[in-house]
A and B are shown apart, each in its own frame.
Chain A
């Protein structure tokens, strides 16, 4: 069975500082990995995805994530935080050969301090 663990339910950084949101996964097969962002009272927006191509994936809004098989990690980073980055972030994993169901982490709320 697949699972996702997001370390830190709440992360707070200053505007302009590095953003690092941690995600570790468990999967018996090479997974597909995703990061989604959710703004209040809205659905989820895809930030980026890893589907077995390049291990460093660049997404929208300046975010990127690196797939590290040896560490079973897919951490999300952004060099310089903006106030508009404040939101809930979800890491998710799916089985490429399965029913494309996503298993979500518990989410990390990112707060940006001025």
Chain B
């Protein structure tokens, strides 16, 4: 149990376009999900907390107009990178809080902006 999926696993897009990444908790409901960004050979950086039915909470320094988060149901959160630029290229990972208070992570999405 406690499986989290992400789609797509890898995406390449042109500069200026928008990209949507989905995060799903497959076998449990999650009121809270998190979005992280990971640069090569570095740790995870928390971007925002996604709360079902309410606005996301962004960490300091993260542009909320650039990284749009929607948590429309208890099993789905989406991250949309708007007007993507090459510096947005990164590995994006989501996680979902299980009722046992453990975060379960998705497999990640590799974004490459050309």
Contact = CB atoms under 8 A, between A and B. Distances in A.
Nearest to B57: A99
B110 interface: yes
Q: Which of B93, B97, B105, B108 has the most CB of A within 10 A?
A: B105
B107 A42 contact: yes
B60 interface: no
B interface, by DSSP: helix, strand, loop or mixed? Answer: strand
> Interface residues of A toward B: which range?
20 to 34
Contact of B93 (A44, A51, A106): A44
Interface string B5-35: 0100000000000000000000000001010
Given A36-B105, A43-B107, A99-B49, 14 more contacts: A42-B107, A42-B108, A43-B6, A44-B93, A44-B95, A96-B101, A100-B32, A101-B34, A102-B34, A102-B95, A102-B103, A104-B44, A105-B43, A107-B43
